Chain A
Amino acid sequence: MNWRRMAGLDTLEQEYAYSSSDTTGYTSAKKIPEKWVATTCGYCSVGCGIEVGVKDGKAVAARPLTSHPVNRGKLCPKGLSEHYVIDADNRLRYPLLRKGSKLMRVGWEEALEAMVERFRSTQAKYGPDSLGVLSTGQLVTEEFYALGKLVQLGFGTKNYDGNTTLCMASAVSGYKQSFGSDGPPGAYEDLEQADVILLVGANIADNHPILCQYLDGNPRKTLIVADPRVSKTAMMADLHLPLKPRSDLALINGIAHILIRHGLIDRDYIARHTSGFDELARFLEAYAPSRVAEITGLSEELLYKTAFLYGRAKAGFIGWTMGVNHSTLGAATVSALCNLSLLTGNIGRAGAAPFSITGQCNAMGTREAGFTSSMPGYRKFDAASDREELAKLWNIDESRLPVKRGLAYPDIVEAAVGKRIRAMWIIATNPLVSFPNQDVLRQALSNLEFLVVQDGYHPTPTTELADLVLPAAIWGEKEGTYTNSERRVSKVNKAVEPPGEARSDIDIFLAVAEKLGCRKELFGGWSTVEDAFNEWACVSKGRLCDYSGLTYRSLVSKGPTQWPCRAGEEPTPRLYADGKFPTADGRAKLICADWQPFPEQPTAAHPFVLNTGRTVEHWHTRTKTREVPILERLSPRAWLEMNPRDAGQLGLRSHDRVDVISQRGRVRGVELRLTEIIAPGQVFMPFHFFETNVNEVTQSAFDPISREPNYKQCAVRVERTARPGAAWQ
């Protein structure tokens, strides 16, 4: 008991004192650091420049890096409080090995010994592909590059994928179908230069708020937002298209139909740079406005308006995120969006792009340098020339490179259910929150003989199930590079030391390689992270994602830079400016993508369509943001949005606690929010909260091409369980 405080003689003046410094101005004294370390934000793929303030070896402040070209001196609320994720109670400080039923602290030596020994023995017993690896979009590119080599060549398993498959795999697949390669063709500045911006299933005001600055900087634009929910972004729109859930592909095909019928297409561009127009035109005959109006629930007038606006645009920009990607028709829908750009020649020019706004800070990095859905440098597994080139670069026998992709994330889980995968390594991701239909995942993990989870935090729902938990350094504690949505490579820097015995992920990978006996062969000559970057830059040379003109030094002297950046050449803000595409014939493909209803339609027993999404305060599975008190304060728990008309029929009120029930499971005790921003017949819930995990009810339905889950629509019913807060009536 502090008697001076009780008496009021002590008001913590020191703690609450203000002071002034040249770098901060007048501010809370405890927030004035000794130094600022410039780096890149570790949350989303907008890729904002950020400075971490360090005092006494601890991160005490975060602020925008004003010189960074992306964020223009601003950050979102997560970025502004990002320093809190570092010095959190939940940080994992030591390796933990399960002995009996308990996770016990062990040394690194014992931990790595156990890991390699168990993985090796499992592979020896069940075959090399019995090891599954699930990684992330959270590491630095150098780490992805190292991990890919370690997994595919060191451990020799193909069954390696990232949580990026839960996120933007559909964009990757769609781009590959249409353009012959992954790689978002546009740039953020296009948002300022476009006169028509069509956002489909993208709630950037909640999910990429810093991009809204670019919209504000463009007073000439017409913003069209297609979203079944009146999201914050829909509210910003000049024209909101409140379409029925997952009718986006029909809408896009319908727009293309009108464009073609009314001659709002660029015939010259189509003739010179695309293939498949005639088939597409014939295919689109089935998407007459009357039919599309019926499918989408939009009036024909709105369809015409949208098509005319986009078709008449001098520079038409299309942006999308998870509304499109989280779908069994994700890749098809992405290609349909690319069709719109190609038909109107809205690609490769200022303001004109079909642009996938990516999710994680370095999802792009793993797409480029990882070894999951393609080989490093967007090299194709099935292209002999790509394999040959890579084998030569790595100085290995070509036969060691797989000729086809291993299992994708959901198929790795499925294989574990079927006991074809027997051991697993999960890195910097938390599937016990993020994977759809959790029952299947729990079944899969319980089948494993050995599960290693590498994370910065413990406990998380996933680390709790692990046999071995490896403590990793996180953002702010290590060096490397991130690539953002507009292909801009930014330097990531170390501000503070990792806690306890935690080590950077690349350090862990190299130590594993050492134990495995392949360090010298695969990572020979690497002593710093920069060595990894330089090797990767060399491997990327001549590819679409060409890093060969980039060095750590240039990323500092010239600032964050967009690829392709060939040595001695200026970096390119946009891809495909010359109309040449990385396909066999150099032309982009117009894809005929047929709309189908979403797989699980509502029934009498499960009458609502459940939509899932995010809130601005939290990041993905909340492993980090739940450590940030102010974000928890602003967004303390999940909620379920329901239209008052539905609630009236069910006798429900705001703040009632409800269970959300699907055929697969039940989310218990979610707080109900009645609001007109959700359509009757639909409900919405954020997915960040493990306490009320929406993925207990989502379905195991995956895009046949991209393998991305159809998170966005499943059939549920809603039952009231309690009425606590509102108990006055």
Chain B
Amino acid sequence: MAHTAKVSLNANSNVAELPLLESELVCIVAPARRSLIQLAPETRAQPLIPQRPLNPGEQYRFHFDMTKCIGCKCCVVACNEQNGNPAAINWRRVGEVEGGHYPNAHRYHLSMGCNHCLEPSCLIGCPVEAYTKDPITGVVIHSAETCIGCQYCTWNCSYGVPQYNPERGVVGKCDLCHNRLADGMAPACAAACPEQAISVEIVNTAEWRADYLSANAPGLPSAGDSISTTRITLPDSLPPDTGRVDTQRIALEHPHWPLVFMLVLTQLAAGAIATLWMMDLLGRAASLAAVLGAAALAGVSLNAAMLHLGRPAYAWRALKGLRRSWLSREVLGLSLFAGSAAAYAATVLLHLPGRSAAGFAAVLFASIGTLCSARIYMVPARPAWNARYTIAQFFSTALLLGPLFVWAVDSSGAGREWLTRAAIGGATAQLLTVALSFLWLSRSEVLELRSSALLLSGRLKTFFLLRLALLLGGGVVLPLAAHSGQGAIAALAVALAGEIAGRWLFFVSVVPKSIASAFLAAERAL
């Protein structure tokens, strides 16, 4: 038979064009979907790791070939075995994206470890300098020994790469198996892949910084957040609607209860100290009990935040990252606030001089601390947090709860009218913040933002309405209606409950950027 002849297999050709005589038969076997079919046979034998040492200005990175991956997840299993991780922690994950219509539908898989970014957001955020970017290999390495388990890196990474291991109290992540690389061995994931879809290669960092388009793929956050170095080979003919399959069910994020209380209570203390200092300036005698109470709250709530840490014994290390980390700055700012609030309280208690200066310092540090608190959350990887609404929300909490606290502690004082007005002002600011940010979320085209709005108006609707009711009741209705001490306490209690509910919603309703997950990805426990 003549095998040299060629037949066009153009999908649009019709039967009539097909030759019926053998002599007319022409056969071009056009690879319909996978360009790799045209590659030379030696494709298989391509080494999985670089065959030469790195030159200056270069680093290692992963290459993932989406056209080869069959979604077998060998890489995930091999990674877990290599690193001895429990099943719930996966430093390498395989996600799914889908596009097209039957029968021209296509599902592709995304296998991702760490992207060993040029601007690693995990490293920049880390308060204890547990992360290093290896100066020779470019590998972003995490030290479990240094880590205090604050999990800030897990909020910073747009890909969800660092994962907190509650059993250990520290975070862990893919280190490109650099210790294996050093011995000339491929990383576990690459070695396990039956399709040779994962490999390690060398990248010139300057060139990559200038053009990192091939780090993008459907189902991945924009590589620009941190300049991911992973190069992805995409199929030639990706259906235009190819996208995530995990958008129909969004898991609630962890509530981080110690942080909910720490934030609300430090903000209450900040607001209270500011209120007292202002009253002091205006010549109204500050209530001693309120001053002492606010200063004590500032100290206690800051320490309560340690409950959030995986390794509270090493909380002090959090000051190490002042140069880069908002978390370090928050710790410093709020510590100075607690200290100066205590000093202010001492001046009031002991009638010491320098009262207004100490008060001013406390207010200043309270503001700085609260601002730092807000800045922690303003990270590109968590779009719903990454807005000025976060700052507005935190300061509004202070403005609402501070005056209410002072009023509740000393309801017999003469400042009732002034205090309730201030609280109503705070409540109004908070209502505006909540309303505007919800509007912003629900009108957004960004998947994560819109998903947050959907959570608030759907699954979390009851809590969201309750939060608004508490805000309105404790911040507006009760301050207007109540005239007794009990009324003041009730207003504070209701408003405080409202702010705690609001902060809980803040934590659970944020939808982080991450790599597309598999359809049946286990839902995070609440």
Contacts and interface: CB of A to CB of B under 8 A. Distances in A.
Interface of A: 5-9, 11-13, 15-16, 18, 20, 25-31, 61, 74-77, 80-81, 205, 209-210, 212-213, 216-217, 219-222, 230, 232, 235-240, 242, 262-264, 299-301, 304-305, 308-309, 312, 314, 616-617, 629-637, 639, 643, 653-655, 671, 673, 675-680, 725-729
B324 to A, nearest CB: 22
A212 B78 CA distance: 18
B98 A238 contact: no
A80 B70 contact: no
A314 B3 contact: yes
A728 B14 CA distance: 48
A678 B102 contact: yes
Contacts of A209: 70, 72, 74, 194
Contacts of B460: 728
A301 B14 contact: yes
Contact of A238 (B13, B37, B454): B37
B179 A639 contact: no
A678 B102 CA distance: 7
Nearest to A196: B29
A462 to B, nearest CB: 26
Contact of A630 (B77, B99, B172): B77
B211 interface: no
B144 interface: yes
A632 B87 contact: yes
Contacts of B312: 6-8
Contact of B195 (A213, A262, A312, A629): A213
A81 B169 CA distance: 26
B180 A26 contact: yes
A727 B458 CA distance: 6
Contact of A262 (B22, B102, B519): B22
Given A9-B313, A205-B72, A727 B459 contact: yes
Contacts of B77: 77, 80-81, 630-631, 634
Contacts of A230: 102-103, 105-107
A675 B96 CA distance: 12
Contact of A25 (B14, B20, B25, B183): B183
Complex A-B, nearest 3 residue pairs according to Cβ-Cβ distance, in ascending order: A728-B458, A8-B311, A28-B84
B70 A232 contact: yes
A205 B13 CA distance: 30
Contacts of A617: 73
Contacts of A673: 519-520
B177 A240 contact: no
A79 to B, nearest CB: 9
Contacts of B106: 230, 235
B484 interface: no
A312 B26 CA distance: 10
B125 interface: no
B54 interface: no
Interface centre among A12, A300, A729, by most B CB within 10 Å? Answer: A12
Contacts of B148: 8
B9 interface: yes
B196 interface: yes
B455 A312 contact: no
Contacts of A729: 454, 458
Between A11, A30, A314, the greatest number of chain B beta carbons within 10 A of the residue's beta carbon is seen for: A11
B486 interface: no
Contact of A219 (B43, B194, B518, B520): B43
B27 A26 contact: no
Contact of A8 (B70, B88, B169): B169
A277 to B, nearest CB: 19
Interface of B: 1, 3, 7, 9, 13-15, 18, 20, 22, 25, 27, 29-34, 36-41, 43-44, 68, 70-74, 76-78, 80-84, 86-88, 90, 94, 98-103, 105-107, 144-145, 148-149, 167-170, 172, 177, 179-180, 182-183, 185, 188, 192-196, 245, 248-250, 309-314, 454-455, 457-460, 518-520, 522-523
Contact of B248 (A220, A301, A653): A653
A673 B246 CA distance: 10
B231 to A, nearest CB: 20
Contacts of A26: 177, 179-180, 182-183, 185
Contact of B81 (A81, A213, A314, A616): A81
A220 B38 CA distance: 8
Contact of A312 (B27, B177, B523): B27
19 contacts: A11-B168, A11-B311, A13-B145, A27-B188, A31-B82, A31-B84, A80-B77, A230-B106, A238-B30, A242-B102, A301-B14, A630-B76, A633-B522, A634-B76, A635-B520, A676-B100, A680-B102, A726-B249, A728-B455
Given A75-B192, A305-B18, A636-B520, 16 more contacts: A11-B144, A12-B167, A25-B183, A26-B179, A26-B182, A76-B74, A77-B73, A77-B74, A77-B76, A230-B102, A240-B103, A264-B1, A300-B15, A633-B90, A636-B522, A671-B520
B309 A222 contact: no
A544 B86 CA distance: 48
Contacts of B87: 629-630, 632-633
A74 to B, nearest CB: 4
A205 B311 CA distance: 44
A676 B72 contact: no
A617 B70 CA distance: 13
Contacts of A237: 32-33
Contacts of A239: 9, 32
Contacts of A728: 250, 454-455, 457-460
A219 B102 contact: no
A76 B70 contact: no
Contacts of A221: 37
Nearest to B89: A633
B70 to A, nearest CB: 4
A727 B73 CA distance: 30
B195 A677 contact: no
A299 B70 CA distance: 28
Nearest to B250: A728
A617 B455 CA distance: 31
Given A235-B107, A655-B249, A680-B102, A616 B72 contact: yes
Contacts of B102: 230, 242, 643, 676-680
A632 B32 CA distance: 35
A80 B309 contact: no
Nearest to B74: A77
A654 B30 CA distance: 36
A6 B196 CA distance: 42
Contacts of B72: 76-77, 205, 209, 616
Contacts of B40: 219
A18 B82 CA distance: 9
Nearest to A617: B73
Contacts of B519: 639, 654, 673
B454 A308 contact: no
Q: Which of B37, B71, B245 has the largest number of chain A CB atoms within 10 A?
A: B37
B74 A74 contact: yes
Contacts of B9: 239, 305
Contacts of A654: 248-249, 519
Given A301-B14, A301-B18, A727-B458, A27 B82 contact: yes
Nearest to B311: A8
A74 B70 contact: no
Given A210-B194, A728-B459, A729-B458, A8 B520 contact: no
Contact of A80 (B74, B248, B311, B458): B74
B101 A676 contact: yes
Contact of B78 (A5, A80, A632): A80
Nearest to A301: B15
- Among B72, B101, B148, chain A packs the most CB atoms within 10 A around the CB of B72
A635 B193 CA distance: 19
A726 B313 contact: no
Contacts of A235: 33, 106-107
Given A8-B148, A300-B15, A308 B86 contact: no
